[in-house]
Amino acid sequence: MKTSVLIIVALLTFSYVNAQKPESKEPAKTEKQGVILFKNTVYDFGTIEYGSEAVAVFVFKNMTKQPVKLTNVKTSCGCTGAEWPREEIAKKKKNKITVTYDSKRVGKFQKTIYVYVDGQDNPVQLEIKGEVSPNNGDQQKTDSKSSDSSNEKNVQQSDVQKSTSPATMTKPEKKVLKDAELKKSTEDVKTRTN
């Protein structure tokens, strides 16, 4: 029994760890810069709250003497989206790529964005990173709800103990009594087997 539980826990842990792996294959080679020059290639969000807006803007400039066109912008994960210009960028002109991260995933993150430029073999690599902290307001609401429900159970149990006649009990009182009896019998069996 313990072995099967351990195997299940190990499989669930393995599945969770692998869930954040990239959905698409990364290119074999990437460029730091190329015919377009980015002001920054890494955007660090720092620590952000769960569910907050997480948008990074990467500004770039066409460094050539002719128009340049982006052919594609890919992200390493479905939790990251990118908006990019589909039209040609005139010589020596600036434009931007806007990257959005889904901040409804708690924990540290590091995602890669690949910018493919017409006429270049390797994409330019951008990166976003940061950490999403849990929303404390939601946690406090959850804590107070669980506290209220445990107080409600205690009141129901004391009421059940006062009137144990099944004829005068409501369905919830009968359920609480049944649960209490089951718990007590389980504890009795545990103490006998020890």
What residues does each domain of the chain span? 22-134, 137-188
> Band of the pLDDT at 135, cuts 50, 70, 90?
confident
Comparing 68-82, 97-111, 155-169, which segment has the lowest mean pLDDT? 155-169
Question: What are the angstrom distances between the C-alpha of 96 and each of 62, 64, 66, 74, 75?
Answer: 11, 17, 18, 15, 16
**Do 27 and 124 touch, CB atoms closer than 8 A?**
no
Cα–Cα dist 45/16, whole Å:
23
The CATH number of 22-134 is: 2.60.40.10
Instruction: Give the residue with greater pLDDT, 2 vs 21.
Output: 2
Cβ atoms of 172 and 153 closer than 8 Å: no
Residue 146 has a pLDDT of 44
Low-confidence winner among 44-58, 88-102, 109-123, 165-179 (lowest mean pLDDT): 165-179
Mean pLDDT of all residues in 169-191:
62
Look at residue 168 and give its three-state secondary structure: helix
- As a whole number, mean pLDDT of residues 90-103 equals 96
- Percent of the chain whose predicted confidence (pLDDT) is above 70: 52
Residues 107 and 63 sit within 8 Å (Cβ to Cβ): no
Mean pLDDT score of the chain: 75
Cβ contact 62:7 at 8 Å:
no
Percentage of residues in the chain having pLDDT higher than 90: 49
Q: What is the pLDDT, as a whole number, of residue 3?
A: 65
